[in-house]
Amino acid sequence: MRHKEETEAQIKANHEVLEGQKGVGMNEPLVDFEGYPRADVDVYQVRTARHNIICLQNDHKAVMKQVEEALHQLHAHDKEKQARDLAEAHEEAMSRRMSHNEGHSLSQAFAKVNSISPGSPASIAKPLNVTVIRRGERHQLRLVPTRWAGKGLLGCNIIPLQR
């Protein structure tokens, strides 16, 4: 990103050189109506600035392409991680379901949820089977650990019970 910013600053500086030469831009002619070099501008300085701008714009395009590729990789990696997390959660839910069917499920509470963030996966309640006790009543929740705007994958704070 620093290279991108430096390149943009150099492009801007070269454009200022062109503006300092009677407002000559990238396309204005450097010869007069008779075909002679213009006497009111420094033709060498203008040609050098134009050349530098073109080279820097090419460099800028290359840097932006690298940034784009890095963003694609980052999002692909994030998507893969989310798929792995979802598969692990599903596997865990299935293994718990199997152990529950075999009569080996835990009957005693081992943790307590002391807060749930609004808009989180825990407040929406998606497919991971969890039995919670709220105000003395049992409630079945189905959660899916997913990425969301807040911290963590569930959006709730789980603390161990003191025995």
The model's pLDDT over 14-37, given as tens digits with 9 standing for 90+, comes to 999 999 998 899 999 999 999 999
- The rounded distance, in Å, linking the Cα atoms of 43 and 40 is 9
Assigned domain for 91 exists: no
pTM of this prediction exceeds 0.75: no
Q: What is the pLDDT of residue 106?
A: 44
Task: Mark whether 52 and 120 lie in a shared domain.
Answer: no
pLDDT tens digits, residue range 106-126? Answer: 456 667 777 777 777 667 655
pLDDT tens digits, residue range 36-58? Answer: 999 999 999 999 999 999 999 99
Assigned domain for 23 exists: yes
Task: Mark whether 67 and 111 lie in a shared domain.
Answer: no
Assigned domain for 89 exists: no
**At 139, phi and psi to the nearest 5?**
-130, 135
- Cα–Cα distances in Å, from 54 out to 13, 28, 41? 13, 15, 20
- Cα-Cα-Cα-Cα dihedral of 93, 99, 103, 105, to 10°? -60
Q: Write out the residue range of the structural domain in which residue 128 sits.
A: 106-160
Assigned domain for 90 exists: no
- Least Cα distance to 57 among 1, 17, 10, 2 occurs for 10
pLDDT tens digits, residue range 62-75? Answer: 999 999 999 999 99
- The rounded distance, in Å, linking the Cα atoms of 138 and 144 is 19
Assigned domain for 33 exists: yes
- The rounded distance, in Å, linking the Cα atoms of 160 and 112 is 6
- The rounded distance, in Å, linking the Cα atoms of 25 and 103 is 81
Q: At what angle do helices 2-19 and 43-101 cross, to 10 degrees?
A: 150
